[in-house]
């Protein structure tokens, strides 16, 4: 038996277009194609009705206030959650604000606080080489690029003189006020090029960063970790892990087999050859972090939660039991930080951690989740 009792769980989901009403209970799926109804497990959120279908991209506001500058204008106006954004549009975020742009192929662009980005090009067509190009005027972005069948498909982030491109993976980039541009990858090899010098090309490998500075020679790639303390969750193939971080706005993990969500800057989400799911998040704060798991099929499961500092294990706890298909469980992860290391999340040092016993989740999955049509089909197949 698992560590806390569960409740029976299968019903049907109404429309896949939902909204987030509480900090922990929302499951919002925005559909980019003609599908309207899906079989899922529970009807927990208030249905808000279909949103406008986007031929380019849809903007979701996770936290704070977002502004939108339509193509051809310079006047910012309040952005609306779920609105369509198009080529030439800009998205502006203020302090403590996070916005996610979801494209037709399922790739996501997270615009972090105090940032200004422009959608420069979007061409996503079946049977053609897909291209998405984002210009960072200033600030920080985090991108999850879905793996496409077309080997020539690219997702690019660019500044004044530099362009960083990937075919698939997890990448971040920042345009700094001093004119420097830095970018890194958590998954997938990233090609970084000087836009005005074709000889400058750097293949950045996962876990590394490059930083271009005005008037300086091309940089070498260096190892990169956003925060020295991290939490890693590994889950057996029978369950899907999803983590809501301490800001109660952003999630990273899985909502269906092959359907990945990653809204947490410099986190890692991946599936091993044996079907084991891994979620690793920066964790330079005490938390708490909310772990939600859903059964893919009936059977035993095991989840290992590991706290690390500079890649070395500090604590580890195992959760195990049996689960039914569609059943959802949740547990809270709390950490103790070493006060001598200071409270800067980048350098904070975890010294211990504890995972509460699993309990039944009687509400929707946490977070705002936006899916492409192909991902919705995978969700429907569960």
Residues 191 and 248 in one domain: no
pLDDT-based confidence at 291, cuts 50/70/90?
very high
- Ranges assigned E (strand) in 52-130: 57-63, 66-69, 77-78, 84-85, 90-93, 98-103, 108-111, 116-123
pLDDT digits (tens, 9 = 90+) for 327-374: 999 999 999 999 999 999 999 999 999 999 999 998 788 888 887 776
Q: Which of 200, 223, 246 is the last residue of a domain?
A: 223
> What SS3 state is found at 54?
coil
Q: Are residues 214 and 361 in the same domain?
A: no
Give the pair of three-digit tokens for residue 365. Answer: 């999955």
Q: How high does pLDDT run on average in the chain?
A: 84
Residue 355 and residue 267 in one domain: yes
pLDDT for position 179: 92
- Give the number of residues written for the chain: 382
10 Å CB burial of residue 17 (0-12, 13-18, 19+) is: middle
The Cα–Cα gap between 11 and 39 comes to 8
The answer to whether residues 210 and 243 belong to one domain is no
My answer on whether 255 and 202 are in the same domain is no
Do 111 and 95 lie in one domain? The reply is yes
Cα separations in angstroms, 366 against 271, 329, 344: 21, 12, 27
In terms of domains, do 138 and 215 share one?
A: yes
Residues 164 and 299 placed together within one structural domain of the fold: no
Residue range 193-202: mean pLDDT, rounded: 90
7-11, 26-30, 240-244: lowest mean pLDDT where?
7-11
Residues 148 and 278 in one domain: no
- pLDDT, residue 104, reads 84
pLDDT at position 42, please? 29
Interval 91-100 mean pLDDT: 96
Mean pLDDT confidence for 32-58: 39
User: What number is the average pLDDT over the span 101-105?
Assistant: 88
* Within-domain flag for 190: yes
Same domain, 195 and 92: yes
- Domain stops at, among 158, 191, 223: 223
Print the domain residue range for 88: 57-223
CB neighbours of residue 56 within 10 Å: 18
- Residue 66 sits in the same domain as residue 121: yes
Flag whether 42 is in a domain: no
Quote the number of domains for the chain: 2
275 and 189, same structural domain?
no
Question: Is 355 a domain residue?
Answer: yes
Task: Look at residue 127 in the predicted model and tell me its pLDDT.
Answer: 54
Question: Backbone phi, then psi, for 104, in 5-degree steps?
Answer: -60, -30
Q: Report yes or no on 75 lying in a domain.
A: yes
Q: Is 118 helix (H, G, I), strand (E, B) or coil?
A: strand
Does residue 155 register a pLDDT over 80? yes
pLDDT attached to residue 128: 62
Q: How far apart are CA 62 and CA 286, in angstroms?
A: 22
Q: Which residue has the higher pLDDT, 147 or 350?
A: 350
* Predicted model pTM: 0.83
Examine residue 372 and state whether it is found in any structural domain, yes or no.
no
From 153, 188, 223, give the residue that closes a domain: 223
**pLDDT of 121 strictly over 80:** yes
Can you tell me the distance from the alpha carbon of 271 to that of 254, in angstroms, rounded to the nearest whole number? 10
Instruction: Specify the pLDDT at position 372.
Output: 75
Q: CA neighbours within 13 Å on the CB side: how many for 62?
A: 31
């Amino acid at each position: 038996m698992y560590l806390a009792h569960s409740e029976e769980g299968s019903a049907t989901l109404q429309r896949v277009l939902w909204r987030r009403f509480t900090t922990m209970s929302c499951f919002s799926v925005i559909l980019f194609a003609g599908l309207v109804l899906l079989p899922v497990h529970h009807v927990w959120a208030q249905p808000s009705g279909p949103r406008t279908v986007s031929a380019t991209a849809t903007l979701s506001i996770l936290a704070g206030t977002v502004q939108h500058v339509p193509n051809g204008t310079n006047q910012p106006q309040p952005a609306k959650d779920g609105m369509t954004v198009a080529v030439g549009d800009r998205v502006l975020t203020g302090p403590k604000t996070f916005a996610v742009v979801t494209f037709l192929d399922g790739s996501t662009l997270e615009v972090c606080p105090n940032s200004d980005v422009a959608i420069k090009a979007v061409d996503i067509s079946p049977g053609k080489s897909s291209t998405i190009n984002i210009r960072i005027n200033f600030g920080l972005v985090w991108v999850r690029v879905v793996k496409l069948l077309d080997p020539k498909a690219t997702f690019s982030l660019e500044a004044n003189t530099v362009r960083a491109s990937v075919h698939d993976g997890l990448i971040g980039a920042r345009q700094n006020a001093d004119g420097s541009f830095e970018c890194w990858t958590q998954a997938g090899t990233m090609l970084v090029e000087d836009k005005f010098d074709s000889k400058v090309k750097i293949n950045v490998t996962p876990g590394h960063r490059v930083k271009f500075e005005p008037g300086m020679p091309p940089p070498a790639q260096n190892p990169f970790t956003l925060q020295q303390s991290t939490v890693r969750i590994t889950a057996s193939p029978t369950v899907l892990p999803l983590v809501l971080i301490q800001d109660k706005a952003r999630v990273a993990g899985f909502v269906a087999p092959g359907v990945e969500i990653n809204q947490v800057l410099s986190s890692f989400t991946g599936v091993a050859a044996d079907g084991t799911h891994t979620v690793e998040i920066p964790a330079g704060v005490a938390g708490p972090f909310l772990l939600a798991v859903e059964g893919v099929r009936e059977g035993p499961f095991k989840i290992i939660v590991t706290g690390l500092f500079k890649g070395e294990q500090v604590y580890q706890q195992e959760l195990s039991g049996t689960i039914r298909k569609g059943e959802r469980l949740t547990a809270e992860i709390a950490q103790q930080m070493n006060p001598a290391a200071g409270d800067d999340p980048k350098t904070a040092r975890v010294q211990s951690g504890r995972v509460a016993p699993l309990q039944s989740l009687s509400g929707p999955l946490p977070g705002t989740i936006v899916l492409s049509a192909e991902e919705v089909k995978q969700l429907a197949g569960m």
